[in-house]
Structure 1
């Protein structure tokens, strides 16, 4: 199984390099094709990793460290015991970056540490302390600068649409399209609706699989529903209703938001380096401060 994982990781590395070249050449057709292949190989990589983990758990062994994260569909299964997961502390906890990846994958859009923590605790097996996220993005940026695309994903920044700087307090996943990581004027509301849909769909999956969601998961969905017109009525909380109401409102904003994000993403691709496209350009105040220091 290890040989298969190594082969898939090599394919991922090659595809990311090809995607980078296609984007530099502004070849949208090639970039779209490569993204599709990336998604296929990433899915195969996660399946192989899950199979290896299950085999080692069954044999009572511990697998080698990895950075895999369950997708929303995969998280419907009962969470594995910590002994079968990567250990990074005396308590055998899942690495923070993996916890964040799982929560963001479920939410489907950039989110703040507090929401990421709430989602992880509602749907997964152990707590995620929001304060641990304070230095995560900086750590990921240092890792990317040192290793490039060596990892399957990085926890990166959402970018402001106007200055292309890191959006304050918002984390995203590097494999998401750049457009999805841009924050325009309407994006906070659109992303809120995306979060609501992701939460409701996860509850539906868990219920269908016979794994009743926790009370915390229902409370999280209720908080979303109370802020979406038509999503919550007669004290009944129905995930399908939340999804429908969220889609209905999102349709009102989607065209303008998509256009704003697409325009900003095009500017980012032409103006920013690879690392800046993930972690943002330096804020202007820092540039001015550094320039002033040099003048003195």
Structure 2
């Protein structure tokens, strides 16, 4: 019988711990073997997750809190939801690395509390420090998008640790493909809210319109864009780029898993000048 998502996640945690130990011991043979098994289990985890989602149907709408829920945790706009949770909810909708400004716009569009973009300035550094101490004890971290060439953190972009490494990589095509993924996620969320009986806010419609304006075939003269039309047009263009970008991501991900530590796989390799500085100067 195929392993469940939970069983595979437990297996991944064990393998990652084993990889850390083999690296500390300098056992390259064991490290290579564990990395190979990690890639296989990660692929099984992705497949199990897809199967679970297909059995359950479309994902549930990420709904704003009710007034009763807001009263139980604090007044709207006064820090009722932690910033990292706000960011995670926005990234879950977007489905691809995004800037603090876009993350803030998405949260404002779909939730009752504002998310001030300036609060995100130190969030990734705080998350990295927390991961260095606690490892995989949290269900998710707000981490970095990774440049495919240097494997360093992409400036100004945040991602979710539950995404695959391939999903977090930034390639020359990412500015467009991630934009299309953002449009798809936004349109899907508008659909889910409407289907659940929660009319999207005017800010949500404005956000979807901004995406539609730059996607061929997605825009209409109506003040409220058609989510179905946006989805169809965005998916059609994304399919054009898929094959070209996929191999680049696969190659970069393989190189990253061979070269980077667990912390670096989430938060990026150190820039060369920082590494030289910490090492005692320029050689």
| TM-score where L is the length of structure 1 | 0.78
Whether the 8 Å CA contact 1:120–1:128 is kept in 2: the answer is yes
Query: How far did residue 125 of structure 1 move?
Result: 1.9
Stretches of structure 1 lacking an aligned partner (at least 5 in a row)? 1-9, 43-70
Whether the 8 Å CA contact 1:158–1:170 is kept in 2: the answer is yes
Query: How far did residue 165 of structure 1 move?
Result: 0.2
Is 1:235 aligned to 2:187, yes or no?
A: no
What are the residue-to-residue correspondences of 1:4-15 with 2, within 5 Å? Answer: 14-15=10-11
Query: How far did residue 151 of structure 1 move?
Result: 0.2
1:130-183 CA distance string (max 9 Å, x none): 000000000000000000001000000000000000000000000100000000
Query: How far did residue 78 of structure 1 move?
Result: 4.9
In structure 2, the residue corresponding to 1:222 is in which secondary structure?
helix
Give the whole-Å Cα distance in 2 for the aligned partners of 1:233 and 1:97: 35
Partner residue, 1:188: 175
Which of 14, 27, 33 is the aligned partner of 2:44?
33
Query: How far did residue 266 of structure 1 move?
Result: 0.5
Stretches of structure 2 lacking an aligned partner (at least 5 in a row)? 1-5, 20-32
Partner residue, 1:254: 242
Partner residue, 2:70: 82
Could you say if the C-alpha distance between residues 245 and 13 of structure 1 is closer, same or farther in structure 2, counting changes exceeding 3 Å? Answer: closer
What are the residue-to-residue correspondences of 1:199-214 with 2, within 5 Å? Answer: 199-214=186-201
Partner residue, 1:140: 127
Query: How far did residue 39 of structure 1 move?
Result: 8.2
Query: How far did residue 208 of structure 1 move?
Result: 1.3
Query: How far did residue 40 of structure 1 move?
Result: 9.1
Partner residue, 2:140: 153
Whether the 8 Å CA contact 1:72–1:102 is kept in 2: the answer is no
Is 1:279 aligned to 2:275, yes or no?
A: no
Runs of 4+ in structure 1 off by over 6 angstroms are 10-13, 38-42, 87-90
Partner residue, 2:88: 101
Whether the 8 Å CA contact 1:73–1:202 is kept in 2: the answer is no
Give the whole-Å Cα distance in 2 for the aligned partners of 1:19 and 1:211: 43
In structure 2, the residue corresponding to 1:126 is in which secondary structure?
coil
Whether the 8 Å CA contact 1:165–1:283 is kept in 2: the answer is yes
Could you say if the C-alpha distance between residues 257 and 119 of structure 1 is closer, same or farther in structure 2, counting changes exceeding 3 Å? Answer: same
Whether the 8 Å CA contact 1:155–1:174 is kept in 2: the answer is yes
| TM-score where L is the length of structure 2 | 0.81
1:48-103 CA distance string (max 9 Å, x none): xxxxxxxxxxxxxxxxxxxxxxx972424654623444x79994521000000000
Give the whole-Å Cα distance in 2 for the aligned partners of 1:180 and 1:200: 19
Which of 115, 118, 127 is the aligned partner of 2:105?
118
